[in-house]
Chains A and B, each alone.
Chain A
Amino acid sequence: MKLKLLAAVAATMMAVSPAMAELVIPALNYRTGPYAPSGIPYADGFSDYMTLVNENGGIDGEMVKVLECETGYNTEKGVECYEQTKGQGALIYIPQSTGITYQLIPKASADEIPIWSVAYGRTSAVNGKVFKWVFNLPATYWDAASIMVKYAMEQEGGSLEGKKIALVYHNSAYGKEPIRTLEKLSEKHGFELSLLPVDHPGQEQKSQWLQIRRERPDYVFMWGWGVMNSVAVQEASNIRFPMDHFIGVWWSGSEGDVVPVGAGADGYKSITWHGAGTDFPALQEIKTKVIDAGKNAGDGSKWGEVGYNRGVYAAAVVAEALRHAKTMGDVTPSSMRDAMETLGMTDERWTELGFPGFTAAFQVTCARHSSPRLGAIQQWNATDKTWTMVSDFMEPDFEVVDPLIEEDSMAYAAENNITPRECN
């Protein structure tokens, strides 16, 4: 029976032969499992934008093929997806999970396929001298932590001396990322930091919030994902924690995280790097050309949500990188890497693509694989069911973050015998 199985697998493997003359972009989505509430809007947005690109004639006439592979946010399935799509001409990987990113960094670097972790993954991958094949735009977790502290400081009139900040985090590589930065910042600004880990998948948070109720921190920061987010917002509202002092990272600030809590979530804040809502020409175009035409990837109900727009953002940048790579000849993983490394988007270009005021302009360089590294704070309004930006785009404290990046990336280079490239 085993032989028969193997033969059948082999037969199907043959059937999925690579389709040439198409730009293949694998999408390691997760539409199932405990992280699906966060994964579905992103997956829909990414695929819908790529469909729009194809509707408008593709990338200089060449169609984009989005190769969906279901990971369920699970590392083992992520590895399987990587190996499966690698053979089909994958140009760039967007792993969609910090765990899978860590997994793929050495593998993809050896296979010479670029990875773009869209504001997640390994923060020190910003150092392009060490991480030649890895990109981490538009910002990193350490930037986010620093911007959140900066925002809290502004709210407190310029000083956090003697204040308390609690970090509620997903007990995984993802959730642990900001800890080191926050520790440095607490030394620098004199606030007290308390760490409250929440175990996978995150439905059980009673004890953490009991502790918050007892300790009464001035601010609560959250690094949550999937069902953990809405549970945390619910718990915060149960203990009547002031919602405007509760700030989530960008993965904890979508509609799916606050809508289930209803009016209790009003005033909850999160950091973001792009606009929410549907008031952008490109999103309207998706509505008319993709969703109304019935070519959408999901059920269309996520259109305009924060998570959806994030998928659109990622797709728009990939499409631009593909165009850029096209100018250098045939698109290969290696030319895609070169394109990512020299990619720049001005405000005019964003407007031209139908995203006026959607996000900030950026320019990637060889040494800095992340740009613009800006973030703004958005706030949830439960009555109108909208996210509105309540701050300008802010810079992180580079003095604190950059030395940490340097230290961590050089440690990685030493561990893996990588000689950093010489470039700017």
Chain B
Amino acid sequence: MLYREAGDFKTSYKDDSQTFPIQMDRWGYYAILAIAFIAVPLVINDYWASAVLLPFLIYAIAALGLNVLTGFCGQVSLGTGGFMAVGAYACYKLMTTFPEVSILVHVVLAGGITALVGVLFGLPSLRIKGFYLAVATLAAQFFLVWLFNKVGWFYNYSASGQISAPERTVIGLAVTGPVATPAVKYLVCLSFLVASAWIVRNLTRGSVGRKWMAIRDMDIAAEIIGVNPLASKLTAFAVSSFFVGISGALFFSVYLGAVEVGEVFGIQKSFLVLFMIIIGGLGSIFGSFAGAAFIVLLPVFLKNVLVGGLGWATDLAAHLEIMILGGLIVTFLILEPHGLAQLWRVSKEKLRLWPFPH
């Protein structure tokens, strides 16, 4: 009744093809942006930033990146953790080599370096598909982690092999390092996320994204109608790795501050991001957000309820957390195999017809 297209007249093609064709969606979008950019920074504290919001924002960027590759272009990748590590180490080397350049530039450059590495590891995708490609990207994951552990140059020969982010400022406010305030860190990550989502959305509805989807749906047919598989697959790898690299750089510099490659960017990270997009919804921007929120927020929420609220033993709660999370994933995927994004789509459809469904 309230949520509908009726009465919202479009007079140009531009209006007609906008991302949020329904007025209420647009309002909601602007309201969320306003809350996220204005209200949240005023109330945010250390706990909310470090335990909930920063991981959510950063994982959402990684999920967006992987969704470009897996969701839109149909190339399965298990190398996300390794590519995040490339972003983190590129950012570290840039930060320490060029301390006078802004950290924001370094994060974007780190994304660019990761894109190059991604293209390199994406080359086999021209010959192999599906599970076999997954194995090839798995090799990238293990190789990259091994490389950053083995070669001292990447961690500036520090005794422990850890990299730690020195303090860097943007317009006088510390973004990295221990004195950075939660609001600044949050705003930096949020800006990167909004920019990433905006870019991905516009790429996927343009010719580049349509080529990716053509390749995903049937690569031979796509080739016959004139889509160049080399260019499309490699651009998918490049764009995907670019965002994954940015998320890795932010993960290291803004969120954790000190990183050990084997522990933080191991194979479990690759799986985690893959689960995010599977639960959230393949080939959906909203799905990347929903999946990241589900995987990041649910364990924190369960922990607070079980340990903080009910006063259970921490180990029991930790084990139960894993079981509940696993159970929920299975249930969700049985009820809605296309993920949370599809659930959202269906409920919006229903809402449009409400209260007179046919």
Interface residues, chain A, with chain B CB atoms under 8 Å away: 2, 5-6, 8-9, 12-13, 15-16, 29, 31-32, 68-70, 72, 74-76, 79-80, 82-84, 86-87, 98-99, 102-103, 106-107, 109-111, 122-123, 171-174, 176-177, 179-180, 197, 199-200, 408, 415-417
1/0 per residue, CB under 8 A from A, across B160-196: the answer is 1110101100000000011100000000000000000
A106, B313: Cα distance in complex, Å? 30
A415, B266: Cα distance in complex, Å? 28
Residue from the list A86, A408, A415 in contact with B46, Cβ < 8 A: A86
* Contact indicator B304/A99 (Cβ below 8 Å): no
What A residues does B162 contact at CB under 8 A?
99, 102, 173
What B residues does A174 contact at CB under 8 A?
160
**Interface status of B282 (Cβ within 8 A of chain A):** no
* Contact indicator B297/A32 (Cβ below 8 Å): no
Within 8 A of A (CB), among B291-330: 293, 297-298, 300-301, 303-305, 307-309, 313-315, 317-319
* Contact indicator A172/B318 (Cβ below 8 Å): no
* Contact indicator B315/A70 (Cβ below 8 Å): yes
* Contact indicator B166/A416 (Cβ below 8 Å): yes
**Interface status of B256 (Cβ within 8 A of chain A):** yes
* Contact indicator B309/A15 (Cβ below 8 Å): yes
Interface residues, chain B, with chain A CB atoms under 8 Å away: 45-47, 49-52, 55, 149, 159-162, 164, 166-167, 177-179, 256-260, 262-264, 266, 290, 293, 297-298, 300-301, 303-305, 307-309, 313-315, 317-319
What A residues does B49 contact at CB under 8 A?
83
Q: Given A83-B46, A110-B178, are A2 and B256 also a contact pair (CB < 8 Å)?
A: no
Q: Which 9 A-B pairs have the closest CB atoms?
A: A31-B315, A110-B178, A173-B160, A106-B178, A70-B314, A16-B308, A80-B51, A12-B304, A83-B47
A82, B166: Cα distance in complex, Å? 20
Q: Given A83-B50, A172-B262, are A9 and B297 also a contact pair (CB < 8 Å)?
A: yes
Q: Given A83-B47, A103-B257, A110-B178, are A69 and B160 also a contact pair (CB < 8 Å)?
A: no
A103, B252: Cα distance in complex, Å? 11
* Contact indicator A15/B308 (Cβ below 8 Å): yes
* Contact indicator A12/B305 (Cβ below 8 Å): yes
Taking the closest CB of chain B, its distance from the CB of A290, in whole angstroms, is: 16
Residue from the list A12, A72, A79, A103 in contact with B51, Cβ < 8 A: A79
Taking the closest CB of chain A, its distance from the CB of B230, in whole angstroms, is: 35
* Contact indicator A13/B314 (Cβ below 8 Å): no
Closest residue of chain A to B259 (Cβ to Cβ) is: A75
What B residues does A80 contact at CB under 8 A?
50-51, 300
What A residues does B260 contact at CB under 8 A?
75, 99, 102, 172-173
* Contact indicator A199/B262 (Cβ below 8 Å): yes
Residue from the list B160, B262, B318 in contact with A31, Cβ < 8 A: B318
What B residues does A98 contact at CB under 8 A?
160
A197, B313: Cα distance in complex, Å? 35
* Contact indicator A122/B160 (Cβ below 8 Å): yes
What B residues does A69 contact at CB under 8 A?
307, 314
* Contact indicator A177/B178 (Cβ below 8 Å): no
Q: Given A16-B308, A180-B159, are A83 and B51 also a contact pair (CB < 8 Å)?
A: yes
Taking the closest CB of chain B, its distance from the CB of A205, in whole angstroms, is: 15
